[in-house]
Amino acid sequence: MFGREAIEYKTREQVQAMRRAGLVVAQAHAAVREAVRPGLTTADLDAVAAGVIEGAGATPSFLGYHGYPATLCVSVNDEIVHGIPGDRQLEPGDVVSVDCGAIVDGWHGDAAFTVVLPDADPADVALSDTTERAMWAGIAALATGERLGVVGDAVEDVVAAAPVTYGIVQEYVGHGIGSAMHQPPEVLNYRARGKSPKLRAGLCVAIEPMLTRGSRMTQVLEDDWTVVTEDGTRAAHWEHTVAIGPEGIWVLTAADGGAQRLAELGVTVAPWE
Ligand code: MF3
Ligand code: CO
């Protein structure tokens, strides 16, 4: 995807601008999470996020990206990522993945969460919980690892330890992020051979595992955006933007910087302030 393009290592000031963008994304997430319920359309969720981003004086990063027509990606049930908000009405038990990006002073934040609506199938809740745990394990691995490949190792370990089998999507991966939403390096969610980039201060990455309840194979719908599972099983997607600083890691799109979830994994966050 990025070939041999150089990694953009950020300064403290640049990471602080990314933190401001990350907090806008966190605020948009919180508002959507509060609003989401059966009967709303995915376009309704988009309007909620657009209002928060505009109110914060920030810019939505997805809108207009390669012609993308909305502020959010909202991906429901067998949709994995890049679902376009529209008149689809949410139903009880739906698995709803919400992805949001914002720009502040030219610097990006990007994050996603999945929510399972009331009357949930417990297996769908487990799918989302496992994907979330895989994301946090991948983030925690950045705190102690030598190279970026530790993320894929950690995601695979969480999936392997789960009591049921999940597919780990491979066609869509995490990415460097900074003065653009998508930058090198790619961040794989599976174990791979070969050397990955060294982890060092100034590296900022979006960690975003996608799991399915069946096969890992994907398909793109006629709209040229929506990615669905080939076998029709449901999928979940979780994502955070993370900065590596001189003292440790900082989850820029988490309101608390990742403190609570990372403490559970034995990691202390180190805001680069
Ligand atoms: N957050 C998505 C990604 O992770 C980006 C969505 S791109 C858009 O990398 F084109 F849909 F806007
Ligand atoms: Co992303």
Q: How far does residue 162's CA lie from ligand 1's centre (Å)? A: 28
> By C-alpha distance, which of 94, 133, 141, 116 is closest to 211?
133
Q: Is the CB of 101 under 6 A from ligand 1?
A: yes
Q: How far does residue 266's CA lie from ligand 1's centre (Å)? A: 30
Task: Confirm whether 269 is domain-assigned.
Answer: no
Flag whether pLDDT at 208 surpasses 70. Answer: yes
Task: Mention every residue, 6+ apart, whose C-beta is less than 8 A from residue 170.
Answer: 188, 189, 190, 216
Report the alpha-carbon distance of residue 250 to residue 107 in Å, rounded. Answer: 16
Give pTM, 2 decimals: 0.98
Q: Is the CB of 82 under 6 A from ligand 1?
A: yes
Q: Is the CB of 132 under 6 A from ligand 1?
A: no
Task: Confirm whether 30 is domain-assigned.
Answer: yes
The CA angle 198-200-202, to the nearest 5 degrees, is: 130
Ligand nearest to the CA of 99: 1
Q: What are the φ/ψ torsions at residue 94 (nearest 5 degrees)?
A: -65, 145
Q: Which residue has the higher pLDDT, 157 or 273?
A: 157
CATH number of residue 80's parent domain: 3.90.230.10
Poorest-confidence range of 2-11, 71-80, 233-242?
2-11
The pLDDT assigned to 136 comes to 98
Task: Confirm whether 3 is domain-assigned.
Answer: no
The pLDDT assigned to 104 comes to 98
- Summarised one tens digit per residue, pLDDT across range 110-129 is 999 999 999 999 999 999 99
What's the average model confidence in pLDDT over 12-34? 98
- DSSP per residue, 71-110: SEEEEETTEEE-PPPSSPBP-TT-EEEEEEEEEETTEEEE
Name which residue sits closest to atom 2 of ligand 1, judged by CA.
Answer: 99
Report the alpha-carbon distance of residue 205 to residue 202 in Å, rounded. Answer: 10
Residue 3: pLDDT band by 50, 70, 90 thresholds?
low
Return the percentage of the chain with pLDDT > 90, whole number: 98
The pLDDT assigned to 1 comes to 66
- The owner of tokens 């995807």 is 1
Ligand 1 atom closest to Cα of residue 82: 11
What's the average model confidence in pLDDT over 153-182? 98
Distance in angstroms between the alpha carbons of the first and the last residue of the chain: 32
Task: Please give the tally of structural domains in the chain.
Answer: 1
The pLDDT assigned to 262 comes to 98
Report the alpha-carbon distance of residue 138 to residue 136 in Å, rounded. Answer: 5
Task: Confirm whether 73 is domain-assigned.
Answer: yes
Given a contact cutoff of 8 angstroms between Cβ atoms, the answer to whether 146 and 271 are in contact is no
Q: What are the φ/ψ torsions at residue 72 (nearest 5 degrees)?
A: -105, 160
Residues with CB under 5 A from ligand 2 (ion): 110, 206
The pLDDT assigned to 143 comes to 98
Q: How far does residue 208's CA lie from ligand 1's centre (Å)? A: 11
Task: Confirm whether 272 is domain-assigned.
Answer: no
Flag whether pLDDT at 32 surpasses 70. Answer: yes
Which domain does 209 fall in, by range?
Answer: 12-263
Task: Confirm whether 7 is domain-assigned.
Answer: no
The pLDDT assigned to 5 comes to 81
The pLDDT assigned to 2 comes to 73
Q: What is the DSSP letter of 66?
A: G
Task: Confirm whether 217 is domain-assigned.
Answer: yes
The pLDDT assigned to 28 comes to 98
Return the percentage of the chain with pLDDT > 70, whole number: 99
Ligand nearest to the CA of 73: 1
Flag whether pLDDT at 233 surpasses 80. Answer: yes
Report CA Rg, the chain. Answer: 17
